[in-house]
Structure 1
């Protein structure tokens, strides 16, 4: 099961998605796209949240508002991170995720730590989390065959 969310309207038509659990996250790690940016609460258990950029865009093209949506979503979907203030969210291109056979299910490392960015999140902003949750759509895509669809959000509803 993959959960899809619609970013704030002024950010543009972006797909934000996350897996149901660590097993689904494992599949998302394995079958990502080069346009995917991965988000996670630093040093705590949390959901793996992905932002699908448009072709030709890079991590530098992500607006502050879009970063805030992803950071709030990952914080809200962390049991530990949701309970405390002043957490860090790390994010990096999907291609920088490193998975070795010795790692636990859902666990990742990085090929290049210099490609990992950190965003400080002071507190949960319920207005953002509630707005995102109102757009939540659940799907079970064939990750091996078609991966996450890079289609406008309205086509998923």
Structure 2
């Protein structure tokens, strides 16, 4: 089961989501999309929280409020991290996640550690979490089908761009 949340209204129409357990996290790692940004509490167990960016957005243009929503959610879904203050949350583009066969379920590494951002969460902010939990929806999506559809759409877009380029040449 995947848990979906709506980001703060002033941030725009963004979806934040996470797996309900480590096996769901494994599926999310496997079937992520290029516009997904992954969040996790650094050095302790936590949920894997994802932010789906809009086409054209980048990890460097995520608003502070949107980052705070994701960071608060990942902190709240960490048994150890939820009890601590000044918790570091790491985040990176989904495409930077590296999964080796020898890794435990839910465990990931990074292709390029320099592309990992760190955000410190001073304390739990219940107002943010209460707002997010009011928007929570549980679904059982077909992640593979979503990934396949995204790949097909991207392929069709590239094909159309190539046709346009040839037509105007």
- Name the TM tier (shorter chain): over 0.9
Which structure shows the bigger proportion of residues in helix conformation? 2
The number of aligned residues is 149
Aligned residue in 2 for 1:155: none
**Rg larger for:** 2
Aligned residue in 1 for 2:25: 25
Q: For residues 16-41 of structure 1, give each alpha carbon's deviation from its aligned partner in whole angstroms, at most 9, with x where no partner exists.
A: 00001000000000000000000000
Deviation at 1:69, TM superposition (A): 0.2
Distance of 2:130 and 2:45 partners within structure 1:
21
Distance of 2:67 and 2:84 partners within structure 1:
19
Task: Map 1:60-79; keep pairs closer than 5 Å.
Answer: 60-79=60-79
Q: For residues 25-68 of structure 1, give each alpha carbon's deviation from its aligned partner in whole angstroms, at most 9, with x where no partner exists.
A: 00000000000000000000000000000001110110000000
The answer for unaligned runs of 5 or more in structure 2 is 151-169
Aligned residue in 2 for 1:82: 82
Aligned residue in 1 for 2:158: none
Aligned residue in 2 for 1:91: 91
Deviation at 1:84, TM superposition (A): 0.9
Distance of 2:63 and 2:144 partners within structure 1:
30
Deviation at 1:144, TM superposition (A): 1.2
1:36 matches 2:36: yes
Q: TM-score, normalised by structure 2?
A: 0.86
Distance of 1:140 and 1:99 partners within structure 2:
23
Task: Map 1:122-137; keep pairs closer than 5 Å.
Answer: 122-137=122-137
RMSD in angstroms over aligned alpha carbons?
Answer: 1.2
1:51 matches 2:47: no
Aligned residue in 2 for 1:114: 114
Q: Secondary structure at the match of 1:56?
A: coil
Deviation at 1:140, TM superposition (A): 0.1
Distance of 1:53 and 1:61 partners within structure 2:
10
Distance of 1:74 and 1:146 partners within structure 2:
23
Task: Map 1:5-24; keep pairs closer than 5 Å.
Answer: 5-24=5-24
